[in-house]
Chain A
Amino acid sequence: MISVGKTKQYANVLDKPLSRGRQEVSLSAFAFLFSEVVQYNQTQVDNIADLERRLEDAGYAVGARVLELLCHREKGNRRETRLLGILSFIHSNVWKVLFGKVADSLEKGTEHEDEYMISEKELLVNRFISVPKDMGAFNCGAFVAGIVRGVLDNAGFPAVVTAHFVPIEGQQRPRTTILIKFAEEVLRRESRLG
Chain B
Amino acid sequence: MPPLTTPKSGDALFASVERVNAELFTLTYGAIVRQLLTDLEEVEEVNKQLDQMGYNIGTRLVDEFLAKSNVSNCADFKETADTIAKTLSYVCPVIAFFTATVAMHHSGTFHALSSANSLGFKMFLGVTATVTNWDAEGTTCSFVLEDNPLVDFVELPDTCQGLQYCNVLSGVIRGALEMVSMKTEVTWVRDMLRGDDAYEMRVKLTKQVPEEYPYKDDD
- Are A58 and B35 in contact, with the CB atoms below 8 A? yes
Cβ–Cβ contact B28 & A62, under 8 A: yes
Q: Which residue in A13, A34, A44 is a CB contact (below 8 Å) of B39?
A: A44
Inter-chain contact B28/A34, CB cutoff 8 Å: yes
Given contacts A4-B144, A12-B155, A58-B32, contact A65 B27 (CB under 8 A): yes
B23 in contact with A29 (CB, 8 Å): no
B binding-site residues for A, Cβ under 8 Å: 14, 17-25, 27-32, 34-36, 39, 49, 53, 56-57, 60-61, 64, 123-126, 130, 132-133, 144, 146-147, 149, 152-155, 168, 192, 195, 197-198
**Which residue of A7, A37, A69 contacts B146 across the interface (Cβ within 8 Å)?**
A7
A97 interface neighbour in B23, B61, B130, B153, Cβ under 8 Å: B23
Is the pair B29, A33 in contact by a Cβ cutoff of 8 Å?
A: yes
Q: Kindly list 7 other residue pairs between chains A and B, CB separation below 8 angstroms, not including A26-B123, A33-B29, A37-B32.
A: A21-B21, A25-B149, A29-B125, A36-B53, A40-B53, A62-B24, A62-B30
Among B14, B23, B195, point to the contact of A98 (Cβ < 8 A).
B23
List the interface of chain A (C-beta within 8 A of B): 1-7, 9, 12-13, 19, 21, 23-30, 32-34, 36-37, 39-41, 44, 54, 57-59, 61-62, 65-66, 69, 97-100, 124
Residue in chain B with minimal CB distance to A1: B133
- B126 near A26 (CB under 8 angstroms)? yes
- Are A69 and B39 in contact, with the CB atoms below 8 A? no
A-B contact pairs, 19 of them (CB 8 A): A2-B130, A4-B144, A4-B197, A13-B155, A23-B22, A23-B126, A23-B149, A24-B20, A25-B124, A28-B61, A28-B64, A36-B32, A36-B53, A37-B28, A40-B32, A61-B27, A61-B34, A62-B27, A62-B28
Q: Which one, A6, A24, A44, A59, contacts B31 given CB within 8 A?
A: A59
> With A36-B32, A61-B31, A62-B28 as given contacts, are A28 and B17 in contact (CB-CB < 8 Å)?
yes
Q: Are A66 and B27 in contact (CB under 8 A)?
A: yes
A27 with B39, Cβ < 8 A, contacts A3-B197, A37-B32 known: no
Instruction: Tell me the complex Cα distance, A30–B18, Å.
Output: 11
- Least CB distance, B77 to chain A, in whole angstroms: 23
Question: With a CB–CB cut-off of 8 A, which chain B residues contact A28?
Answer: 17-18, 61, 64, 124
Query: Complex Cα distance A21/B153, Å?
Result: 12
* Closest CB pairs A-B (n = 7): A23-B22, A13-B155, A27-B18, A24-B19, A58-B31, A61-B31, A36-B53
Q: Which residues of A contact B56 (CB under 8 A)?
A: 36, 39
- CB-CB under 8 A from B27, the residues of chain A are 61-62, 65-66
Closest chain B residue to A4 by CB distance? B198
A26 lies within 8 A of B19 (CB): yes
Residues of A within 8 A of B192 (CB): 7, 9
Q: A25–B146 contact, CB under 8 A?
A: no
Q: A2-B133, A62-B27, A66-B27 are in contact. Are A26 and B18 (CB under 8 A)?
A: yes
Chain B residue numbers with a CB within 8 Å of A5 are: 197-198
A32 engages B32 (CB within 8 Å):
no
Most buried by B among A2, A21, A97, A124: A2
Partner of B25, one of A3, A19, A30, A58: A30
Contacts of B198 in A (CB 8 A): 3-5, 7
A26 adjacent to B14 (CB under 8 Å): yes
- The distance from the CB of A63 to the nearest CB of chain B, in whole angstroms, is 9
B32 touches A13 (CB 8 A): no
Distance in angstroms from A101 CB to nearest chain B CB is: 11
Bound CA–CA A12/B153 (angstroms): 10
CA distance A98 to B49 in the complex (A): 26
Which of A7, A23, A44, A61 has the largest number of chain B CB atoms within 10 A? A23
